[in-house]
Amino acid sequence: MSVIRVERVARAGLLVSVPVGTLERMSPRPPLPPFTEETARQKIRLAEDAWNSRDPERVALAYTEDSSWRNRAEFLSGRAAIVEFLRRKWTREIDYRLVKELWTFGGDRIAVRFAYEWHDDSGSWFRSYGNENWQFDERGLMSHRFASINDLPITQAERKLHWPSGRRPDDHPGLSDLGL
């Protein structure tokens, strides 16, 4: 006999028990498709903020449980694989700072360009440039992510992404403003 862990939640004044993880699957992640320019920009900023948290579990909640990824030459499927990938990534990519920018959008898809800076454990700095194509389900969870990324070695003096760890401040320039 298997035991299902449950969480107790208040719904319409009632206390109900549901299997752990059910609320994540049921809850929408606004903004929802179809996207407008404004909601696409909001979705991108939410993604940027999550990735800058460098919290793999938080980031993974934005993806469907069976989300399909291509990241460079690595192919992933599912939240557990995403969490493991992000743990490896942020162990290697130290002092990670990311900026994302809208390229285009339509329906349930958004195309993004991005740049992030990081250094490895020997102190060598890099700026990674790339493009992502995103597809979302009706709940606003990303079901597909295709990322193409190139790394450019830079000196510490060439860095352009400067802010304390975490969310990029609203007044920090974006990619276009930085000439990236």
Return the pLDDT at 36: 98
The tens-digit pLDDT sequence of the chain (180 residues) is 444 444 444 444 455 555 555 555 558 999 999 999 999 999 999 999 999 999 999 999 999 999 999 999 999 999 999 999 999 999 999 999 999 999 999 999 999 999 999 999 999 999 999 999 999 999 999 999 999 999 999 999 999 999 999 999 999 999 999 999
Task: Order across the sheet with 94-106: list the strands.
Answer: 74-77, 63-71, 142-154, 125-136, 109-119, 94-106
d(CA 63, CA 68): 9
- 38 burial level (CB within 10 Å; 0-12, 13-18, 19+): exposed
Return the pLDDT at 105: 98
Domain 29-158 matching CATH 3.40.50.1240: the answer reads: no
Return the pLDDT at 55: 98
33 Cα distance to chain centroid: 17
Return the pLDDT at 9: 46
Q: Is 40 within 8 Å of 105 (Cβ atoms)?
A: yes
Rounded alpha-carbon distances, angstroms, from residue 51 to 36, 100, 105, 175, 176: 22, 10, 20, 16, 20
Q: In which residue are the tokens 């990236």 written?
A: 180
Rounded alpha-carbon distances, angstroms, from residue 103 to 16, 28, 111, 143, 159: 43, 24, 5, 19, 23
Give the start-to-end residue ranges of the domains of the chain: 29-158
